[in-house]
Amino acid sequence: MRSSSFRSSLGLLAAILSCLPGPAAFSADAPRPNILLIVSDDQGFADVGFQGCKDIPTPHLDRLAKSGLRCTSGYVSHPFCSPTRAGLMTGRYQQRFGHETNPFYDPESHIEGLPMSQKLLPEHLKAAGYVTGWIGKWHLGAAPEFRPINRGFTETFGFIGGGHIYRDWKPDVKKEYNVPIERNGKPVEVTNHITGVFGHEAAQFVARHKTEPWFLYLAFNAPHSPNQPTPERLAQFAGITNKLRRTYAAQVSLLDDAIGEALVALRESGQENRTLVFFFSDNGGQIFNGAVNAPLRGNKGDVYEGGIHVPFVVSWPGKIPGGKDYDKAVCSLDVFATALAIAGVPMPTDKKYDSVNLLPYLTGENPGAPNNRLFWRSGKKSAVHDGPEKLVRLNGQSDELYDLAADLSETKDLATSQAGTAKKLGEILDGWDKELIPPAFPGLGRGKKEK
């Protein structure tokens, strides 16, 4: 009797438990997390409200920063456009596969572009069932095989070169800054300011895919030159007396609005709490275009902080703490491993990867530092961070040493007074350099200078 009663009780308990929504049921029914990667172009370190900017309101980016973590030690892996993008798409230092400069725009060149030996992040995610989208600037090769539609993106909209006229241009496939805007590889007519067009396209992508997991790479060319804001937006900044700064500020404001449209679509479609959002600039601001990198030293193209240390935000409401600063070093390379981790895709093991899954660090699960060391090389300029210590090597000159914890502006060279530390970091940099290969293509060395 007792055995029969016990079996009956177990059966009743099993029936009750079977009606409860366990973890497996939730994960089976809910779409996997989305990834929204927003990259601005040549935006200054100080040119956003959450970094203390006073003359350019950026309410949408400020709201994003409040919803997540402002990474005060946020870096990119290269001081200018295309190599940074190659690194974040592959999770590898781009010099490992020779993508060390901006490719020359040439639709007939099968060399000038991100080498086909590399498998890109969208290819991994697409194979795992994600809808993958690219909107905006490409700058990773113009020949057919290099284009985003052939590198893992399900939906594409934007221009293939390294920059573009913002409004009132005549399409010309031979002129990099006048090439047609393309949707899924085919030219489309665009009459509005392209910064706003990119934001609108992103909002539509977000709304269109609210029932399935997606990855969207929203890569603006703003505020890269030539800044051409609308007359109405330019008029709003009439109080800025410096004409260059005024035009730049108006373009940053248009950028913020475009990003805002995408973020509003995220909230209104109910996807904000299941979307990991990254935002950063692809390199430091171009001072000669009106940007401000203060208090950092240097400019776009430099391996000083002004070329590589950028505004950087990571947000995922409910998963990552909101409204706080994270001061340990994070890098654009880390997008790759972090995105694969939340998608449930194992990190590849076919090559050496330099990307770190940031989530355990940003959530506080791991109190350590995600990146103890970071490296840079751009031609004859290179640098290494080892904690707060940074070695800079320029054009065969004597190495420079800085303590970023005490001297973020890199004003006091400690190489002589701390010769032992400089020697140690120099050897570390030499060791990393031996892992790299020479540039795989001549790029801008073919005679064209970036605009």
Residue 6 has pLDDT above 90, yes or no: no
178/116 same-domain check: yes
pLDDT of residue 13: 37
pLDDT tens-digit profile of 355-388?
Answer: 999 999 999 999 999 999 999 999 999 999 999 9
pLDDT of residue 30: 67
pLDDT of residue 76: 98
183/206 same-domain check: yes
**What residues contact residue 435 under an 8 Å CB cut-off, 6+ apart?**
96, 352
Contact of 336 with 353, CB cutoff 8 Å: yes
Residue 9 placed within a domain: no
70/101 same-domain check: yes
pLDDT of residue 396: 87
Contact of 80 with 283, CB cutoff 8 Å: yes
How far, in Å, CA of 440 to CA of 425, rounded?
A: 27
Find the CATH number of the domain harbouring 157: 3.40.720.10
Residue 20 placed within a domain: no
Burial string for 116-143 (b: 16+ CB within 10 Å, else e) reads: eebbbbbbbbbebebbbbbbbbbbbbbb
81/194 same-domain check: yes
Q: How far is CA 75 from CA 212, 328, 411, 441, in A?
A: 31, 11, 20, 25
341/406 same-domain check: no
Residue 332 placed within a domain: yes
233/271 same-domain check: yes
Residue 15 has pLDDT above 60, yes or no: no
φ, ψ at 402 (rounded to 5°): -135, 150
3-state secondary structure at position 113: strand
Q: Which domain holds residue 413?
A: 375-438
Residue 55 has pLDDT above 80, yes or no: yes
81/55 same-domain check: yes
Residue 342 placed within a domain: yes
DSSP for residue 141: B
What DSSP string runs through 76-106? Answer: -SSSSHHHHHHHHHHTS-GGGGT--SPPP--
389/314 same-domain check: no
**Domain C-terminal end among 371, 386, 414:** 371
175/207 same-domain check: yes
φ, ψ at 66 (rounded to 5°): -70, -25
pLDDT tens-digit profile of 238-266?
Answer: 999 999 999 999 999 999 999 999 999 99
Find the CATH number of the domain harbouring 403: 3.30.1120.10
pLDDT tens-digit profile of 112-165?
Answer: 999 999 999 999 999 999 999 999 999 999 999 999 999 999 999 999 999 999
364/395 same-domain check: no
**Domain C-terminal end among 354, 371, 388:** 371
How far, in Å, CA of 379 to CA of 292, rounded?
A: 24
DSSP for residue 251: H
* 12 band by pLDDT with thresholds 50, 70 and 90: very low
φ, ψ at 316 (rounded to 5°): -160, 90
* 28 band by pLDDT with thresholds 50, 70 and 90: very low
Residue 12 placed within a domain: no
How far, in Å, CA of 131 to CA of 153, rounded?
A: 8
pLDDT of residue 25: 28
Contact of 293 with 287, CB cutoff 8 Å: yes
* 31 band by pLDDT with thresholds 50, 70 and 90: confident
pLDDT of residue 21: 32
pLDDT tens-digit profile of 304-357?
Answer: 999 999 999 999 999 999 999 999 999 999 999 999 999 999 999 999 999 999
How far, in Å, CA of 249 to CA of 272, rounded?
A: 28
Contact of 157 with 183, CB cutoff 8 Å: yes
**Domain C-terminal end among 330, 354, 371:** 371
The residue written with tokens 């409200």 in the block is 49
How far, in Å, CA of 441 to CA of 429, rounded?
A: 23
Residue 13 placed within a domain: no
Residue 4 placed within a domain: no
User: Which residue(s) pair with 71 in the sheet?
Assistant: 326
324/409 same-domain check: no
Kindly report the average pLDDT of the chain as a whole number.
92
Burial class (CB in 10 A: 0-12, 13-18, 19+), 183: middle
pLDDT tens-digit profile of 190-200?
Answer: 999 999 999 99
Residue 6 placed within a domain: no
Q: Which residues are catalytic?
A: 81, 139
Domain count along the chain: 2
3-state secondary structure at position 447: coil
pLDDT of residue 267: 97
Using alpha carbons only, give the angle 90, 364, 47 rounded to the nearest 5 degrees: 60
Supply the angle between the helices 59-67 and 243-268 in degrees, to the nearest 10. 50
326/239 same-domain check: yes
